[in-house]
Structure 1
Amino acid sequence: MAISKDQFKQGMRRLGGAVNIVTAADGGVWAGLTATAVTSLSAEPPRLLVCINRQGVTYDIVSKGRTLGVNVLGTAHKGLAMRFAGMDGEEETERFSGGDWFTAKSGAPLLNGALVSFDCTVESILDAGSHAIVIGNIEAVEIGASDVLDPLCYLDGKWGTFQNLG
């Protein structure tokens, strides 16, 4: 028996995750979105994967520009996470007026002050239903200040952080 779309969404809301802003560039056009579907893939070669909705502008920019930035957010970035999740109505290409962004070697926008940012070129894109699995070759890693390790997390529709690590 197949599960419904609503059952799937309800179940996945209980799978907490780190909050990231995924960015891309194609020429002078930047786009980005908030995602929790980001994970490491391999250390040799260094790769990660991101799952992105194929209906969005960011997917189009990733596909054309073949760049990918993954910015891991701290709790201080909650407002940016909400903005890049579309909660303020800004289009995916207009969300960069908030935050301190710079252009990475690949051309992807990276966030100054992120816990860590990964600058990637796109190795491959696999169709997976409504989303695509984007595999990125990590070209550079920008590690933020080690005294600010307060990652932003998302669980059951709520923003929060890890507590009692250690």
Structure 2
Amino acid sequence: MSRLLIRSHEDFEKYVGQKLGVSEYHTVTQEQINKFADATLDYQWIHTDPERAKAEGAFGSTIAHGYLTLSLLPLMWEQVVQVENFSMLVNYGIESFKFGQPVLVNSKIRTHVWLKSVTNLRGISKVQLQVSMEIEGNKKPAFDGQIVFLYHFNK
């Protein structure tokens, strides 16, 4: 999969309003869900108890934490765009975000990315992305929303 190469604020400006691409598929496993539960101390049974989720849950299996799917955005972003020539990247914001569909264990997910805007903040590039996480075989996305990164490009 070829990635778009960005090396400056001006490179980002060329793509405002355009779809930048789509990430590779990632399979969400029960092991990954359990490790996320360990990291966040969120052990709700719909995530971590496959037998109970199958017997009592609304989805027939465990589901990934919504924030687990959100935490995969940096990985998927890097599969879409290769950003170089910067000294620092800061996660700046999450805006207008909605979880629309649960991600069942062993689902394959990928993220579509559009560049909504790029703003020069006294030499720092504020990059606003529209993101939509697709679940293979589902019409409705796992989530839709906007994320904002700050790139400190080298001069």
State TM-score, norm by structure 2.
0.26
State TM-score, norm by structure 1.
0.25
Larger radius of gyration, structure 1 or 2? 2
Richer in strand (by share): 1
